[in-house]
Amino acid sequence: MKCAHCKEEVSAWKKTCPKCGKETGSQVVLYREKTWNVIKKVARFIKKAFLYLLDRAIFYAKKSWPHIKKFFSVKKNVYITAGALAGLILIFVILGLLRGPSVEPPILDLGDPVAELEQSVPFTGAVLSVDELTSPIYGFEMVVPFGAYDELTPFDITTQTIESHNLGDAFTPITPLINIDNGHTFSNEPLTLTIPIELEEGEFAMGFYFNPETNSLEGIPMKNLTTTEITLFTYHFSSIVISKISIDDLLTLTNVTNPYVDTGFVPGVDDWQFTNYGSFLAQGGHCAGQVLTMSWYYHTQKMANDEPALYNRFDNVGFEATESFMEDDHLGYRFASVIQNLLDFTSEDFYDYLSFAGDDEQLIYFAFSYAMVITEKPQLMAIYSHDEFGDIVSGHAIMAYKMQGYDIYVADPNYPGQTNRKVHFDTSLGVYEFEPYSSGANAQAILDDGALLYDDIFYIGESALIDYEAIGEEYNKVLDGTIGDEYFPTLEAIFLSEYDQNVDDQVWMDVTGDEITLGTTHNDVMACYLQNKVVIAVTANHLDAVYTLYQGDQLIEGPYYASEDGYIYYEVELVNGENEIGVLAEIVVDGDRYYADFMRIKINYTAGVTTECAATIVGRYNFYSRSDGQNLVQNHYIIIREDGTFTESYTINDPLYTSVIDGTWTIAPGQNAGENILYLTFGSQTDTYEVLDNYQWLRYAPSDVIFLFQKES
């Protein structure tokens, strides 16, 4: 059947479409749910009837056997009891039919394990070989380089014959299942595995992991392929099988005149909603982290556990969704950055590990084709751009999810949600090579310098070069809200609970659970100029952090550096009911800002009586204008305090810098009513201001330019 929303083919037994994430509108599901509701009602009735009859039976049994005999001597009671029991049995039978088989049949029917090799590998590395002539993997060789493991690591290698499988005609195993057990230890360095095979001319072969727990296969990157051996490239081991296919058959499966190879993954449904701009942890971009996490989530959460689609699932968690505003997607942004940190796709060492396959782009194209045909899963693609001297200038990671003809459709973290991006494999005039793909190391690099052409395309697969278990462990931190806390400067907030003229006697409280509740007595413990306001102080505990204030997805002010105490202070105007602010923390590195964290705070406010301020110099004066019309700084203000101290602060944009001046003040009467003279002293310098309009304005004229500051109400 077709999904009622996206019109894609979907199983009639699916309630939620795996492609668009919405309900399919299946009549089968509707009928099943209606049937289930009827069954539940009948079951409840039968249960009540049975319990009633059982209670009556026990009651009579206690009296004596004659009473029991008397009860069952009434035919009506016998019929009701028998009917209730029969009804219960029928319910269990129907439930069993609706549920179907609880365990899927294994995709591989295997023989008993046969021992092939046992050997321990020291820190210095080793070569493991199977030299027994009668072995089905005679000539097998595994190279473990120096430093691959931190300690002596035992390897146990066995084989199992593949008696049969249910993977279709495209899967033809040409080796037994090779089980390599090293305690599931992930290596520090890439390992190569050479396996003997027999191929005819015009055939292609590829290695696959077999996972008996998930009953699935996964493609493995290859270093080399000949008619007599295949060399695989990996960081970990499990069970491996080599399968072959006719190249003509493989091309037929992906030919434009036939149905395309579609893994079911859809950008805008299954990728992340945010763009790859990089972060404090992944300053060059987190493309690989985005691709790996969205691939992992698609396989292990959406498809395996029927979880919702990834796109916008972690958008502004705990608050109303802000689909066009990515700054509050901090859980996903940090998740991608942490996983990116586990594998550096931009390093020359990693490129060297992959460059072996660059000589035969046709093999790489076949690897993408065959992996998606057999596994029906998206595949990771690494791409590189070079300068005129052949040196790498950029590395990037994207995900192949669909094939049609010689086009590989890709999800690109620089262009989230786009379904028309593809890498083309050119077969004209016998060329057999990938056309360059246009993108960038990250979205900011594209904005700054334009897109690059990536001329090297590599097959990575899924977990061969990354520890999938580590992704699962980090995902648990996404769910509990702690992802990246050990790597990123993390926002903390406090709020002014009780104001006092003496700063040391003011009471500040932690913001817990991203929420503040203020009652009708709030104004009673605030200064008059803080009526119907809350003062919130935020810090990321980093000297180079700058902060930007938002309401919803609207920028209010910033970015600004913190005060000398490490906090930035916001006076938030409150309305009766629910209020909300958001604070973005970025870290400045060499003049560029990198994402660190985002915090939303909800303020529940029940307004009380407002105390009006008497006319006084005390309060905050915000910059209003210059007589020459220029505006060279941001966030320029002067705070006059009751204790005789003041603070003046302003921020310069280029380079980003915040100046904070602290000193003392005195005031003297002016010539006219409502006017006074204010003296601000810091160090050996004293500036003179005119106080106008009954303390509403400050006028400062150090030269020909006149500065005006207006008092904040």
Query: For 400-403, which contacts have Cβ atoms below 8 Å and span 24 or more sequence positions?
Result: 400/368, 400/372, 401/262, 401/263, 401/265, 401/266, 401/267, 402/260, 402/261, 402/262, 402/263, 402/265, 402/372, 403/254, 403/260, 403/261, 403/368, 403/369, 403/372
Pick the range with the lowest mean pLDDT from 60-64, 119-123, 580-584, 700-704.
Answer: 60-64
CA distances from 297 to 301, 354, 471, 601 (A): 5, 25, 9, 28
Rounded-to-integer distance, Cα 713 and Cα 523, Å: 15
Mean pLDDT of the residues in the chain? 87
What mean pLDDT do residues 84-105 have?
62
The closest of 126, 238, 143, 127 to 190, measured between CA atoms, is: 143
Report whether 207 contacts 192 (CB < 8 A).
no
CA distances from 85 to 71, 372, 417 (A): 17, 51, 56
Is it the case that residue 542 has pLDDT exceeding 60? yes
CA distances from 249 to 79, 170, 207, 362, 629 (A): 65, 8, 18, 15, 73
Task: Quote the strand ranges of 252-406, DSSP E.
Answer: 261-262, 379-386, 392-404
Q: State residue 474's pLDDT score.
A: 95
403 bridge partner residues: 261, 408
pLDDT band at 564 (very low <50, low <70, confident <90, very high): confident
Is it the case that residue 99 has pLDDT exceeding 60? no
**CATH of segment(s) 619-711:** 2.40.128.20
Q: Which amino acid is at 101?
A: P
pLDDT band at 675 (very low <50, low <70, confident <90, very high): confident
The closest of 277, 276, 594 to 411, measured between CA atoms, is: 276
Rounded-to-integer distance, Cα 447 and Cα 440, Å: 9
Rounded-to-integer distance, Cα 255 and Cα 404, Å: 6
Summarize pLDDT for 482-530 with one digit per residue, the tens.
999 999 999 999 999 999 888 889 999 999 989 999 999 999 999 888 8
Is it the case that residue 226 has pLDDT exceeding 90? yes
Q: What is the dihedral of CA 647, 652, 657, 663, to 10 degrees?
A: -20
- Residue ranges of alpha helices (H) inside 390-464 are 443-449
Tokens of 292: 């790996």
Which three-class secondary structure string do you get for 300-342?
A: HHHHHHCCCCCCCCCCCCCCCCCCCCCCCCHHHHHHHHHHHHH
Q: State residue 257's pLDDT score.
A: 63
Rounded-to-integer distance, Cα 422 and Cα 399, Å: 10
CATH of 108-245 given 1.20.1730.10, 3.30.499.10, 2.60.220.30, 1.10.357.10: 2.60.220.30
Report whether 461 contacts 378 (CB < 8 A).
no
pLDDT band at 35 (very low <50, low <70, confident <90, very high): low
Is it the case that residue 470 has pLDDT exceeding 90? no
Is it the case that residue 358 has pLDDT exceeding 60? no
Tokens of 210: 């077999």
CATH of 492-605 given 3.40.50.10800, 2.60.40.10, 3.30.470.20, 1.25.40.10: 2.60.40.10
Tokens of 82: 């028998």
Is it the case that residue 320 has pLDDT exceeding 70? yes
Pick the range with the lowest mean pLDDT from 112-116, 419-423, 530-534.
Answer: 530-534
Rounded-to-integer distance, Cα 637 and Cα 96, Å: 73
Is it the case that residue 50 has pLDDT exceeding 60? yes
Q: State residue 360's pLDDT score.
A: 83
What mean pLDDT do residues 216-240 have?
90
The closest of 637, 643, 633, 634 to 620, measured between CA atoms, is: 637
pLDDT band at 359 (very low <50, low <70, confident <90, very high): low
Rounded-to-integer distance, Cα 77 and Cα 80, Å: 5
Is it the case that residue 47 has pLDDT exceeding 80? no
Q: State residue 193's pLDDT score.
A: 93
Report whether 648 contacts 638 (CB < 8 A).
yes
In angstroms, how far apart are the furthest CA atoms of the chain? 117
Q: State residue 10's pLDDT score.
A: 59
Q: State residue 241's pLDDT score.
A: 97
